[in-house]
Chains A and B, each alone.
Chain A
Amino acid sequence: AQTVTQSQPEMSVQEAETVTLSCTYDTSESDYYLFWYKQPPSRQMILVIRQEAYKQQNATENRFSVNFQKAAKSFSLKISDSQLGDAAMYFCAQATLYNTDKLIFGTGTRLQVFP
């Protein structure tokens, strides 16, 4: 069975600093995708970044980057130059393609950003 684990219920960071959110997962599949979603108080889930398991290169999206360690089944999110608008719940998720594509989520990390 697929599982996704986020061991940090809460994290905080100073504005303009860098923070890393951790995520580990477990799957027996070889072909899968990993995602980080942001959920602000508006509740709208926003895709931050995704990683295809077959790609060795770590994904980046502006200030957001991942450290994907396939053998260790680790998928951490690094936020650089943190901004007040980054404050939100962050969820790590995994989907196995061609298996109805259902997303399995972690328990989330609440990120606070201090001025």
Chain B
Amino acid sequence: DVKVTQSSRYLVKRTGEKVFLECVQDMDHENMFWYRQDPGLGLRLIYFSYDVKMKEKGDIPEGYSVSREKKERFSLILESASTNQTSMYLCASSPNPSGTADGYTFGSGTRLTVV
């Protein structure tokens, strides 16, 4: 069974901390994505990557950075966590090009609370 695994289901961090959210996929997918999910706002794209060491800004990249040193791993970094970054974070991957019915696979999310 193909999988996207997010390292933590729940996370509580303090304001100003550096936070790493990890995502690993075992499908040899080229594309990986980080979304943020908030009530009433849906899923918003933070960053995506279509190859190792490549990254592109999504719609809301401010306050975030990413790292993709290996094909299977895509990390989201909050350099200095703030309370407005309290949210659900979803990772996804897809082959390149996707264009298939089940081309996108999602992790089960990390609920981050910044206090």
Give residues in A with beta carbon < 8 Å to B. 4, 6, 9, 33, 35, 42-45, 47, 50, 91, 93, 95, 97-98, 100-108
Contact = CB atoms under 8 A, between A and B. Distances in A.
Contact of A106 (B35, B42, B50): B42
B101 A95 contact: no
A47 B43 contact: no
Interface residues of B, number: 28
15 contacts: A43-B88, A43-B109, A91-B43, A97-B99, A98-B97, A100-B56, A101-B94, A101-B97, A101-B103, A103-B33, A104-B45, A105-B42, A106-B42, A107-B41, A108-B42
A44 to B, nearest CB: 5
A91 B102 contact: no
Interface of B: 31, 33, 35, 40-45, 48, 50, 56, 58, 88, 90, 92, 94, 96-99, 101-104, 106, 108-109
